[in-house]
């Protein structure tokens, strides 16, 4: 719309590593449902070793695409998934944030520090007695 300001809120992105197992497919299904509730997306990834050649990367990507397609079809959630291959070092850096570390993203004239958020207390509904 003319004159409207674009939202500055960045939507949630859930990172889900997949390894072809039923457990990782279940995690993907759960993440997709969460992404729908949060109006976000899921980045389904496979971790690839630094020494993997192009053939190995293509095979891993094909297996990743197949696993994602099966889960998406099973739960019926379309349009909330992206697929990527992640280098082991990048994946470990992201996981370190989840374990309490910090990751600093250095970009043009700015630095952004990423840290693990403290766990939220569950919200209890207010019960009113008549």
pLDDT digits (tens, 9 = 90+) for 87-110: 999 999 988 888 888 888 899 999
- Write the pLDDT tens digit of every residue in 6-61: 566 678 889 999 999 999 999 999 999 999 998 899 999 999 998 999 999 999 99
DSSP class of 2: T
Q: What is the mean pLDDT of residues 67-85?
A: 92
Range of the domain at 80: 13-105
In a domain, 130, yes or no: no
In a domain, 73, yes or no: yes
% of the chain at pLDDT higher than 90: 55
| Per-residue pLDDT, 117 | 72
**pLDDT at residue 3 tops 70:** no
Whichever domain contains 79, its CATH number is 3.40.50.620
**pLDDT at residue 2 tops 60:** no
In a domain, 19, yes or no: yes
| Per-residue pLDDT, 100 | 86
* Spatial CB neighbours of 47, under 8 Å, sequence gap ≥ 6: 17, 85, 86, 87, 88, 91
Contact 86, 46 (CB under 8 A): yes
| Per-residue pLDDT, 113 | 87
In a domain, 115, yes or no: no
In a domain, 31, yes or no: yes
| Per-residue pLDDT, 115 | 81
In a domain, 78, yes or no: yes
Looking at the 3D structure of the chain, how many domains does it have? 1
- The mean pLDDT of the chain is 87
| Per-residue pLDDT, 91 | 92
In a domain, 60, yes or no: yes
**pLDDT at residue 4 tops 70:** no
């Amino acid at each position: 719309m003319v004159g409207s300001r674009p939202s500055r809120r960045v939507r949630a992105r859930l990172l889900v590593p997949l390894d072809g197992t039923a457990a990782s497919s279940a995690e993907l299904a759960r993440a997709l449902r969460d992404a729908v509730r949060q109006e976000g997306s899921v980045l389904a990834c496979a971790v690839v070793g630094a020494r993997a050649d192009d053939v190995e990367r293509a095979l891993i990507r094909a297996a990743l695409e197949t696993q994602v397609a099966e889960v998406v079809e099973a739960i019926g959630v379309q349009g909330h998934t992206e697929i990527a291959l992640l280098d082991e070092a990048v994946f470990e850096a992201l996981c370190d944030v989840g374990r309490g570390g910090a990751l600093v993203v250095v970009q043009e004239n700015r630095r952004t520090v990423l840290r693990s958020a403290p766990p939220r207390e569950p919200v209890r509904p207010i019960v009113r007695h008549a």
